[in-house]
Amino acid sequence: MTIKTLLTLPIAVLLLASITFADAAELKDYDFTQYSQKITRCDRYASHGRDPGHVAPPVSQKNMKKKKAIAACLRALKKDPENPRLNYQLGRAYGYSGQGEKAMPYRLKAVEADYPQSLFVIGYLYLSGRTIEKDACKTFELWQRGATYKRLAALIALPRHYMRGDFQECDVTLSKGDMLAYLEQAKSQSSDYYVGMLIEDLMLDLDTSTDSNSQ
């Protein structure tokens, strides 16, 4: 757009454009390659299909051989203790085994590295109060970090729960511009019919709401 064109635009249009750019969320890709991508037995036993950082074929909760997964992940972490993918997967194996307390240190280790899958999962646990004290404000913080790294679940869940008023007790604000940016990104990532319907419904609700929302 040239300077001449800008000068001929109505002031209202220019103001709207400035609000849009100011409110748009800054999204970025998580650099999974900063950690080893070598496939380990931990990956083969405990990989999650919706984890954007998984490197091996996914293993469902039903099909996971939990004892073997725990043992394999413990061995893998002895060699690579800082790898958030391996920490997340050990936390997953412990969690599915009903050992939530043992799972948390590894889940939180992955959160410290901003690992997108853990950011969403731990945020969900804080929201639901499962195996951890309920804290919706921590959920907001973790999901916002996850959405920044384009984690699909966080991109959708954060606007949805914000619009439902689930973060009313927190001193937080999520602009309409950010929520639309998250949902647009989610829309570009998924071809699932039902996910698409949810995104469209949320965007329609946003279109008829105010920036202050239910907060």
Report whether 45 contacts 64 (CB < 8 A). yes
pLDDT in tens, the chain (215 residues): 443 433 343 433 333 333 333 345 789 999 999 999 999 999 999 999 999 999 999 999 999 999 999 999 999 999 999 999 999 999 999 999 999 999 999 999 999 999 999 999 999 999 998 878 999 999 999 999 999 999 999 999 999 999 999 999 999 999 999 999 999 999 999 999 999 999 999 999 998 875 444 44
State pTM to two decimals: 0.83
Domain residue ranges in the chain? 34-113, 137-215
Closest listed residue to residue 126, CA positions, set 144, 149, 152, 151: 144
Classify burial at 45, counting beta carbons within 10 Å of its beta carbon; exposed 0-12, middle 13-18, buried 19 or more.
Answer: buried
User: What is the b/e burial string over 166-183, where b = at least 16 CB atoms within 10 angstroms of the residue's CB?
Assistant: bbeebeeebbbbbbbbbb
The CB density around residue 51, as the number of other CB atoms within 10 Å, is 21
Q: Which CATH superfamily is domain 34-113 in?
A: Tetratricopeptide repeat domain (1.25.40.10)
